[in-house]
C-alpha cells in the first residue's frame, strides 16, 4: 500500500514539486517546445527562481521578489501563447501536485496556479483582468531581511 501523501511544508518540497512539474512540462507534446525550443530553459538555472516564487506563495517565506508576468510576455512575443497552452500548463501542474502532495498548501498551489494562468492569459490577449484574478503579479519584500 502506498504511503499517504503529505502536504507541501518545506523548501525541499517546493523544489521537488517544481522539478517534477518542469520535467513533465518540458517533455509534453503540446507545450514542451515553449520551454525547450522557444525559451531555451535551463532547468538547473531556472529551478531556484521558480522555487523561490512558489516558496513565497505557499510557505510565506519572502524568497522571491520581482515580476512573474514579464518573462511570459516576452515568451509570447517569440511564440504566441494561446488559451490551450495555459490550460495544458495548468493540467500538468495540477496532475503533478496531486501525485506528490495532499493538504491545504497543495490545494493553495493548485488554486493559485489557476488564478495566475487565467490572469496571464487574459493580459497576454489584451483583455482586462477579471475581478478576483491577480493583478500584475509583483512580489516585494518588506521589513527586515
H helices of the chain, where?
Answer: 11-26, 32-33, 43-59, 69-78, 83-100, 104-124
In this prediction, residue 69 has a pLDDT band, given cuts at 50, 70 and 90, of confident
d(CA 26, CA 47): 13
Q: pLDDT of 86-139, one tens digit each?
A: 999 999 999 999 999 999 999 999 999 999 999 888 888 885 555 655 444 444
Q: Decide: pTM greater than 0.75.
A: yes
Ordered DSSP codes for 87-106: HHHHHHHHHHHHHH--SHHH
Residues 35-45: pLDDT tens digits?
999 999 999 99
Work out the percent of the chain whose per-residue pLDDT is above 90.
Answer: 61
Task: Give the model's pLDDT for residue 124.
Answer: 87
Please, what is the end-to-end C-alpha distance for the chain in angstroms? 44
For residue 13, is pLDDT > 90?
yes
Q: What is the pLDDT of residue 70?
A: 80
Is the model's pLDDT at 144 over the cut of 80? no
Amino acid at each position: 500500500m502506498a504511503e499517504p501523501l503529505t502536504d507541501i511544508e518545506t523548501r525541499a518540497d517546493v523544489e521537488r514539486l517544481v522539478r517534477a512539474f518542469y520535467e513533465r512540462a518540458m517533455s509534453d507534446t503540446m507545450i514542451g517546445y515553449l520551454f525547450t525550443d522557444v525559451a531555451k530553459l535551463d532547468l538547473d538555472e531556472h529551478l531556484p527562481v521558480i522555487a523561490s516564487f512558489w516558496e513565497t506563495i505557499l510557505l510565506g517565506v519572502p524568497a522571491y521578489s520581482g515580476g512573474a508576468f514579464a518573462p511570459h510576455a516576452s515568451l509570447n512575443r517569440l511564440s504566441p501563447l494561446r488559451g490551450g497552452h495555459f490550460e495544458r500548463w495548468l493540467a500538468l501542474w495540477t496532475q503533478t501536485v496531486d501525485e506528490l502532495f495532499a493538504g491545504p498548501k497543495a490545494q493553495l498551489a493548485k488554486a493559485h496556479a489557476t488564478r495566475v494562468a487565467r490572469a496571464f492569459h487574459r493580459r497576454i490577449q489584451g483583455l482586462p483582468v477579471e475581478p478576483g484574478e491577480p493583478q500584475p503579479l509583483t512580489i516585494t519584500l518588506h521589513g527586515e531581511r
